[in-house]
Amino acid sequence: MAKIIEPPPKTERQAPPTRQVKRSVRRLESKSKVDGSAEYIHNLTLPGMLYGKIARSSIPHGKILSIDPGAALALEGVYAVITGDDIRRLIPDPYYGPAFHDQPILALDKVRYAGEPVAVALAKDPHVAEEAADLIAVEYEPLEAVFDEVQAAKPGAPIIHDVLKPATTFPDLKHLQGRSGTNVALSAHVRRGDLAQAFKESDYVFEQTFRNGKVIHAPLEPYVTVGEMAGPDGLTIHTASQSPSFVRSELSRLLGWPENRVRVRTAFLGGGFGGKLYIKLEALVAACTLLVRKPVRIALTMEEQFYTITKHGATVRLKTGVRKDGRIVAREVEVWWNGGAYADIGPRVTQKSGLTSSGPYDIENISIESHAVYTNEPPAGALRGFGISQVVWAYESQADVMARALNIDPIDFRRRNILREGRPHATGMPMTDIDIDAILDRLAERMEWNRPFDRGSATTRRGRGIAIGIKSCVAPTTSVAMVNIYGDGSCGICSSTVDMGQGSDTAMAQIAAEILGISTESIRVVHPDTDVTPYDMATLGSRSTYHMGNAVRRAAEDARAQLLRMAATVLKTGEGDLECRDGVIAAHSGARVTFHDLMVARFAMQAGNIIGIGSFIPPYEKPDHETGQSRQITPFWMLGGAGAEIEVDTETGRIHVVKLVNVGDAGSPINPDIVERQLIGAGTMQFGFTVFEEMIFNEGQVVNASFADYKIPGMLDVPDQLSGEMVEVPHRQGPFGAKGVGETGMFCVSPAIGNALYDAVEVRITEMPLTPERVLRALRRAQNRPLGSD
Amino acid sequence: MKQNHRRTIRFKLNGRPAITEIATHETLLEVLRRDFSLFGGRESCGQGLCGCCTAIVDGIAVSGCLYLAAFVDGAEVTTVEGLASGGKLHPIQESFIANCGFQCGFCTPGFILMTKELLERHPQPTTDEIRHYLSGNLCRCAAYPDIVRAVKAAAGEHNR
């Protein structure tokens, strides 16, 4: 059973709960998703459109000596070949990025990773464009390259960017402007207490280094963008993007245009997972469209996804001081993030995941150093969790090591150390609206932790493990929403939140429906279109339910207030006597009026609009630059836990996950079914990252860039028993108590499986993924009969 | 590029006669999308490994991204758009809705068509049979447990 905590008094007026929120409404778009009619930008072609195919760098680091489009242009049907120099004529400083303006729209003068876009061939026939892209001849002078994040951060490493170019819009990055001679784009720090003294007073000190390989998002709808002119001086970009508002502002900045000349719209996304954030193809398509003044479409293949954006590989060094009684008193963390050749959102991953890398623990003495490092690999960005699963892998593997060394039960060990309500987080912010004990309770219950456990037989050994993790929701960010009542009384929501499968359309409709007293299913959610829908920072970081949910709530409250004022006149009563319920406005006397009749009364016919506006930006205090301390670092904390029960085949090293329990704090869920499915979906994704997904590089070249060689979990791979479990801790500022939960299921799966592996075979693997080969090698080393090449 | 190798194909598409002109290197998927605006089949992995592009040709599920359009000349082709009849969704489609068998929905038509083929051959599949039959369809959102339930529920419906 869910443990419910009574929320403290509400700080904002909220309607009494009715049937619309906390109800497992089916997704509003269900029919369109089973009959093939759901709109994706993937489906879009325009009259007279050209297809673009990208010619990519064949080396990881080098100067471009020449680009010869001759053979490509000679091919029948080729319209144009575009290079970086063409783009520079249109956009003098064609470098983009959300944190650093370091990524050229097409490579200029040099290339920094194998697979980097160098030129584009345009043709009416996509097959011709593809053939032409292969015919573009590029000559390079190779430069020494660096791939490992720790090596790249050291003095003397080959320098990838001559000078750092932070986006000047961020005051906290200003000090990096003009820095040269380093691959470290940014270092973030958290400092608290007296670390040296605390280590001296510790009874035990544990120090280990953990690594994560690189993986990719692999949304099944590949990245796609279509551009077209909108009159002589406007541009429309149709794009499979999680951040239409950002795309508009970044394109405007690049072009030197006001934002109102750039329109960015999207549709349903066939998955996103953080890959479709910020600028991916949009700047390139915008430039091509403006250069040829015709509609241009660029759609990537699955192979090209591997050259576009990845999750960060990371190296995490952890040093932890513990007392005999199991209390952690000191923790020193250093993280190196392999950001690839361009920063994308890596510096923010570095800061945000850095600041929680000491874990969900109450530790008095902390030092965290988190470094964003450039390497000659494809750029790394946000992937469902924003770096959290990398640091949880480290600190929860180490928690298991420490619990075992101290002979304390792993759940008990965590109970002795977890943060509780009111206690300060490593950043100094007092914890609010959390209950980690409830997560541990649920894990213990679902894992039947205190019952005898079958340890397996000779070659099939069984084990189990748990882990918990914490994330701070990104801050500060803004969401704006409109709720529109049309002339016939029907309702539309205008929101720039992108529904990429997480069910945000349905959740937003539930929130507005709750306020307006109408059915969720009757509401239409207008998809993001920057000409129509208001600003939203982006659909990322599990922020939409909380931020856009609050904006939609306020917009609906605004619309309701206007409706009640109108109804008070029509029904000749006071507004306080009225409420919205069951699709009408009703007075206590029993008199009622429909929205439609109100509109007719107000506009003399079926006409007009009632527009409610809501905007939301939670309070935030910028952390101190040196110490990372802040009284308000995040609007809400995300807490998760996972438990895994596994079988290990000691002859092959294969891990078979029998049971995977994923627990997440969802606040008070808007749609319980969808929340559980988010936990299961995220858990399955991270399961793939844990046991087999890994991008393999050879001298900077991705050698497994296809589903033939890079496996994602299929039906036969997933754990036999898989569950997503909500713990309900209502959040006092969340819409109807809700928190975001889209990423929570990612946090803890890897260390839960890694800890189960140790439990089964007493082998500790510190590097992900836990492939059969890696497990078998470790097993054989432990048995003192290493495999040949070890 | 053999732009000049073009031909006309005639086939039955979702029960109705269809005719179009294609280049011989074009795939069934691109022709269904370009010439018939049937967008239920989608290109994802481009290698016949994910099932998003599934179409049924003469009763057999094929990967539309690999299957040449020229080969459907004279054949009978069914896409997800052809499953509903008389304004009513097919029971498999209804079952995917009732059991929440999707999140982003991009892979869903492929799963539904493969389920159709499965239930025609194995009207009462076991969980294992379902998992094996659908193992060539990938869902990155990982709605797998819901999909299995949807298929089982549809099988019940199928046998009525």
Domains, chain B:
6-82 (3.10.20.30), 91-158 (1.10.150.120)
SS3 A139: strand
**Interchain contact, B135 vs A714, CB within 8 Å:** yes
Closest chain B residue by Cα to residue A42: B42
Q: Is the ipTM of this complex over 0.85?
A: yes
SS3 A78: strand
Query: Residue B159: its pLDDT value, please?
Result: 64
Q: How far is A256 from chain B (nearest CA, A)?
A: 35
Q: How far is A680 from chain B (nearest CA, A)?
A: 7
Query: Residue A19: its pLDDT value, please?
Result: 84
**Interchain contact, B138 vs A714, CB within 8 Å:** yes
Q: How far is A286 from chain B (nearest CA, A)?
A: 23
Q: Confidence band (pLDDT; 50, 70, 90) for A11? A: very low
Alpha-carbon span A494 to A559, nearest angstrom: 13
**Interchain contact, A26 vs B134, CB within 8 Å:** no
C-alpha distances in angstroms, A317 versus A150, A202, A747? 11, 18, 18
Alpha-carbon span A310 to A338, nearest angstrom: 10
C-alpha distances in angstroms, A45 versus A84, A778, B30, B123? 25, 52, 12, 39
CB pairs under 8 A between A and B: 163
Q: Which of A740, A697, A668, A345 is nearest to A503 (CA)?
A: A740
Q: Confidence band (pLDDT; 50, 70, 90) for A18? A: low
* Parallel, antiparallel or unpaired: strands B6-13 and B76-78: parallel
- Is A75 part of the contact surface with chain B (CB cutoff 8 Å)? yes
A-chain residues near B30 (CB < 8 A): 126
Closest chain A residue by Cα to residue B43: A221
SS3 A69: coil
Alpha-carbon span B141 to A235, nearest angstrom: 33
pLDDT digits (tens, 9 = 90+) for A574-601: 999 999 998 999 999 999 999 999 999 9
Query: CA torsion, points A777, A781, A783, A785, in degrees to nearest 10?
Result: 90
| Helix (H) and strand (E) counts in chain B | 5, 5
Residue range A722-747: average pLDDT? 96
Q: Confidence band (pLDDT; 50, 70, 90) for A1? A: very low
Query: Residue A790: its pLDDT value, please?
Result: 83
Architecture of domain A41-145+217-305: Alpha-Beta Complex (3.90)
A-chain residues near B52 (CB < 8 A): 220
- Which of B26, B34, B45, B85 is the mutation pick for testing A, counting most A CBs within 10 A? B45
Per the DSSP assignment, residues forming a β-bridge with A54 are A120
**Interchain contact, A718 vs B144, CB within 8 Å:** yes
Tokens at A249, concatenated: 């502002």
> What residues 185-214 of chain A have any CB closer than 8 A to a CB of chain B?
none
The helix-helix angle for A749-761 and A388-405 (nearest 10°) equals: 30
Residue with tokens 């209390």: A327
**Interchain contact, B105 vs A128, CB within 8 Å:** no
Q: How far is A642 from chain B (nearest CA, A)?
A: 17
Question: CB neighbours (10 Å) of residue A788?
Answer: 6
Whole-model pTM? 0.96
- Is A46 part of the contact surface with chain B (CB cutoff 8 Å)? no
B-chain residues near A221 (CB < 8 A): 42, 44, 104, 106
- Which of A32, A220, A691 is the mutation pick for testing B, counting most B CBs within 10 A? A220
Rg (CA), chain B: 16
- Is A745 part of the contact surface with chain B (CB cutoff 8 Å)? no
Q: How far is B122 from chain A (nearest CA, A)?
A: 18
- Which of B80, B103, B151 is the mutation pick for testing A, counting most A CBs within 10 A? B103
Which ranges of A572-646 would DSSP assign to H, the alpha helix?
Answer: 595-603
Residue range A469-486: average pLDDT? 97
Residue range A334-359: average pLDDT? 96
Closest chain A residue by Cα to residue B29: A43
B-chain residues near A125 (CB < 8 A): 3
- Strand (E) or helix (H) holding B19: strand B16-23
Q: How far is A419 from chain B (nearest CA, A)?
A: 31
Tokens at A753, concatenated: 């499986």
- Is A685 part of the contact surface with chain B (CB cutoff 8 Å)? yes
- Residue A326 clears pLDDT 80, i.e. is over it: yes
**Interchain contact, A714 vs B3, CB within 8 Å:** no
E-state strands within A115-243: 117-123, 137-142, 184-192, 204-212, 224-229, 235-239
CATH 1.10.3720.10, applies to A313-475+623-782: no
**Interchain contact, B1 vs A76, CB within 8 Å:** yes
**What whole-number percentage of chain A has pLDDT above 70?**
98
Query: Residue A170: its pLDDT value, please?
Result: 80
Residue range A462-491: average pLDDT? 97
Alpha-carbon span A680 to A657, nearest angstrom: 14
**Residue ranges in chain B modelled with pLDDT below 70:** 1-4, 158-160
- Is A710 part of the contact surface with chain B (CB cutoff 8 Å)? no
Tokens at A563, concatenated: 């409706």
- Is A269 part of the contact surface with chain B (CB cutoff 8 Å)? yes
**Interchain contact, B40 vs A685, CB within 8 Å:** no
- Strand (E) or helix (H) holding A355: helix A346-355
- Residue A391 clears pLDDT 60, i.e. is over it: yes
**A679 with A741: CB under 8 angstroms?**
yes
Tokens at A545, concatenated: 């339910």
A-chain residues near B33 (CB < 8 A): 43
Closest chain A residue by Cα to residue B27: A127
**Interchain contact, A273 vs B138, CB within 8 Å:** no
- CB-based burial label for A450 (10 Å; 0-12, 13-18, 19+): exposed
Residues with Cβ within 8 Å of B4's Cβ and at least 6 positions away in sequence, in order, are none
Residues with Cβ within 8 Å of A256's Cβ and at least 6 positions away in sequence, in order, are none
Alpha-carbon span A543 to A241, nearest angstrom: 16
**Interchain contact, B140 vs A33, CB within 8 Å:** no
**What whole-number percentage of chain A has pLDDT above 90?**
95
Q: How far is B104 from chain A (nearest CA, A)?
A: 3
B-chain residues near A37 (CB < 8 A): 39-40, 81
Residue range A538-567: average pLDDT? 98
Alpha-carbon span A423 to A774, nearest angstrom: 40
Alpha-carbon span A331 to A194, nearest angstrom: 11
Cα separation of the two ends of chain B? 52
SS3 A584: strand
For the domain bounded by A30-38+477-616, which CATH number is listed?
Answer: 3.30.365.10
- Is A127 part of the contact surface with chain B (CB cutoff 8 Å)? yes
Per the DSSP assignment, residues forming a β-bridge with A66 are A139
More confident residue, A3 or A181: A181
Bin A784: left if φ > 0, else alpha if -120 < ψ < 50, else beta.
Answer: left
Please work out, in degrees rounded to the nearest 5, the angle formed at the alpha carbon of residue A289 by the alpha carbons of A286 and A290: 85
Closest chain B residue by Cα to residue A40: B106
- Write out the DSSP string of A501-544: SS-HHHHHHHHHHHHHTS-GGG-EEEPPBTTTS--BS-S-TT-H
Query: Residue A16: its pLDDT value, please?
Result: 43
pLDDT digits (tens, 9 = 90+) for A530-540: 999 999 999 99
- Residue A658 clears pLDDT 80, i.e. is over it: yes
Please work out, in degrees rounded to the nearest 5, the angle formed at the alpha carbon of residue A551 by the alpha carbons of A546 and A555: 145
Question: CB neighbours (10 Å) of residue A609?
Answer: 13
B-chain residues near A30 (CB < 8 A): 97
Q: How far is B74 from chain A (nearest CA, A)?
A: 24
B-chain residues near A46 (CB < 8 A): none
- Residue A226 clears pLDDT 80, i.e. is over it: yes
- Is A673 part of the contact surface with chain B (CB cutoff 8 Å)? yes
Residue with tokens 């592996």: A757
A-chain residues near B103 (CB < 8 A): 501-503, 677, 681
**Interchain contact, B39 vs A45, CB within 8 Å:** no
- Residue A172 clears pLDDT 90, i.e. is over it: no
CATH 3.90.1170.50, chain A: domain bounds: 41-145+217-305
CATH 3.30.365.10, chain A: domain bounds: 30-38+477-616, 313-475+623-782
Distance of CA A673 to the CA centre of its chain: 21
Query: Residue A169: its pLDDT value, please?
Result: 76
Average pLDDT, chain A: 96
Supply the DSSP symbol for A383: -
- Which of B34, B104, B137 is the mutation pick for testing A, counting most A CBs within 10 A? B104
Residue with tokens 């967008």: B39
